[in-house]
Structure 1
Amino acid sequence: MVQSHGAHASVASPSMPAIQTAARIVGAVFLLLGILGFIPGVTTGYDTMQFAGHESQAMLFGVFQVSILHNIIHLLLGVIGLSMARSGAAAKSFLIGGGVILLALALYGTVVGQTSTANIFPTNGADNWLHLIAGLGMILLGILPAGRNERTSERDERASEREYRGQASPGQTPRGQAYGH
């Protein structure tokens, strides 16, 4: 009797490690925020939006001060996050590196006065809190261990692929059963 271990389903739709899923979600959120920042109505004061600087009075959701540069940064983080979500190591780098960037932006927004000419992004108090929370969250997602690490996941995927193709590991039949059983 042939036993099915679900290998075909595993190869057809391999499960994505949690860190890659997290990077994909974070990237999608940043991409969405970047797009929404350019939509009048979602962004209040849209007609006052500047390329950069504190003069931009545009507010995403009426709360977060944005500019064209600020929205472009969100779009770039989104695209980078989605592309780096393709591998576990890159996803981890995105989450930690992006988190550090957001923490630096929160610090920048806190140190630089809201009406200062140095406030080029621009940021306000709500932005600073959001950048702080998002930065810490991204770093935690990048450093906390998941249920299965990437090496285990890759090993399982390779074993499933070998089983699906009929190739056996040493000491196993092509269906993955140990000899003598």
Structure 2
Amino acid sequence: MGAHTRETTRTPLQMAAFVLGIIFLAIGILGFIPGITTNYGALSWAGHHSDARLLGLFQVSVLHNIVHLLFGIAGVTLARTWTGARNFLIWGGAIYLVLWIYGLLISQTSPANFIPVNTADNWLHFLLGVVMIALGVVLSRRARARRPSSVI
């Protein structure tokens, strides 16, 4: 008997979740690389005192980088199924919009800024939230539109 190969085809919705998962993994890793993260010596576990900046712009901490890594793992894992990919994009986008609002409401110099976030992070969170939700909604609608309807 010959080897049986199973061909899996990812939908555009699953590809979007997978690609975003890979991007989050890369961001999490890059946050631990001196040079790509400026002021690397000022990288702290968490809190607004971390003065490390990914690409010299986005405030990061060890906790912030770990969150990116976990989000990336979730994206790659959930991209295995259509429902998982849709949930990752829509609910992940909602989480990013909550983070955006949180970042706008707290003082960047207060202990409440435990992740930490700065203005660049806040607006990136807004953009990510909108894009992820839009991808989740639009790509899932396209898939439903292509499904044959049952005839009664």
TM-score > 0.5, shorter chain as reference: yes
In the alignment, which of 98, 106, 109 is matched to residue 103 of structure 2? 109
CA distance in 1, matches of 2:16, 2:134: 11
- Scaled by the length of structure 1, the TM-score of the pair is 0.75
The unaligned stretches of length 5 or more in structure 1 are 1-10, 154-181
1:120 aligns with 2:80: no
Aligned length: 143
Q: Percent identity?
A: 48
How far is the alpha carbon of 1:148 from its aligned partner? 3.3
SS at match of 1:144: helix
TM-score, normalised with respect to structure 2: 0.88
CA distance, structure 2, for counterparts of residue 12 and residue 123 of structure 1 = 43
Matched, 1:83 2:77: yes
List gaps (5 residues or longer) in structure 2.
none
* CA pair 80-150 structure 1, distance change in 2 beyond 3 A: farther
Greater CA deviation, 138-147 or 106-115?
Answer: 138-147
- Residue of structure 2 in register with 1:52 after alignment: 46
Aligned to 1:38: 32
Distance 1:21 1:115, change over 3 A: same
Q: Choose from 138, 144, 148 the match for 2:143.
A: 148
| C-alpha RMSD over aligned residues | 1.9
**Deviations, residues 54-110 of structure 1 (Å, cap 9, x unaligned):** 000000000000000000000000000000000000100011111011111111111
Note if contact 1:70-1:121 (Cα within 8 Å) is conserved in structure 2. yes
Give the aligned partner of residue 58 of structure 2.
64
